[in-house]
């Protein structure tokens, strides 16, 4: 419920941002080539060992070609008992960048940092995270718009418990990530 609230709130705030006209013109954007995309959603899957979770991601980067973007993605992957901070390289290809609706595909790869810690008892160590995604963006015409995407994310991390011995559990999560957000 809390996760749902955070997700909806984030989406609401992002849409509010777009309800105002951007200060930057489309031309200015194209000149700057700077690109930002924030999205929020859920990571879901079989969840046989680890819960489904809330997902937030923000990508900042550059348009390197008329269809291609490169950026650094970070955010939060919040599961019931653990929170991870991903730091990923992201590449995206827009199929129809000049159209109102443009499908795209993306790929991300990097590592996560474990943020959950409990004194000397519990610690979380991040690991490799990779994702392929597809989605579409809705251009509003001023260099801004909305994005909707679905991705498959593989995420490795390790939990370490220290109670009566050391117990390390290595997870490899296979999850779909469903998200929406905005870009400019």
Sites of contact with other proteins (CB under 8 A): 45-50, 134, 150, 152, 164-174, 176
CB of 87 to other proteins, least distance (A): 22
Q: Is 64 helix (H, G, I), strand (E, B) or coil?
A: coil
CB of 37 to other proteins, least distance (A): 21
CB of 123 to other proteins, least distance (A): 15
DSSP code, position 141: S
Q: Which is nearer to other proteins, 34 or 176 (CB)?
A: 176
Q: Which is nearer to other proteins, 38 or 155 (CB)?
A: 155
H or E segment at 152? strand 145-162
Asked whether 22 and 14 are in contact (CB, 8 A), the reply is: no
Please work out, in degrees rounded to the nearest 5, the angle formed at the alpha carbon of residue 48 by the alpha carbons of 175 and 114. Answer: 60
Q: Which is nearer to other proteins, 98 or 166 (CB)?
A: 166
Q: Which is nearer to other proteins, 14 or 158 (CB)?
A: 158
Residue identified by tokens 């993306």 is: 106
């Amino acid at each position: 419920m809390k996760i749902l609230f955070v997700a909806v709130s984030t989406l609401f705030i992002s849409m509010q941002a777009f309800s105002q006209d951007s200060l930057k013109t489309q031309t200015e954007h194209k000149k700057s080539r700077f690109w930002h995309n924030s999205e929020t959603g859920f990571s879901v899957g079989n969840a046989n060992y680890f819960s489904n979770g809330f997902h937030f991601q923000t990508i900042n980067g550059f348009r390197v070609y008329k269809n291609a973007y490169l950026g650094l993605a970070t955010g939060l992957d919040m599961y019931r008992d653990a929170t991870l901070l991903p730091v990923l390289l992201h590449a995206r290809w827009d199929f129809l960048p000049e159209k109102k609706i443009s499908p795209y595909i993306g790929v991300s790869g990097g590592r996560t940092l474990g943020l959950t810690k409990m004194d000397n008892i519990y610690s979380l160590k991040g690991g490799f995270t990779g994702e392929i995604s597809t989605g579409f963006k809705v251009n509003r015409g001023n260099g801004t718009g909305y994005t909707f995407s679905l991705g498959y994310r593989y995420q490795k991390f390790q939990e370490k418990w220290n109670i009566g011995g050391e117990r390390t559990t290595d997870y490899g999560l296979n999850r779909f990530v469903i998200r929406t957000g905005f870009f400019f």
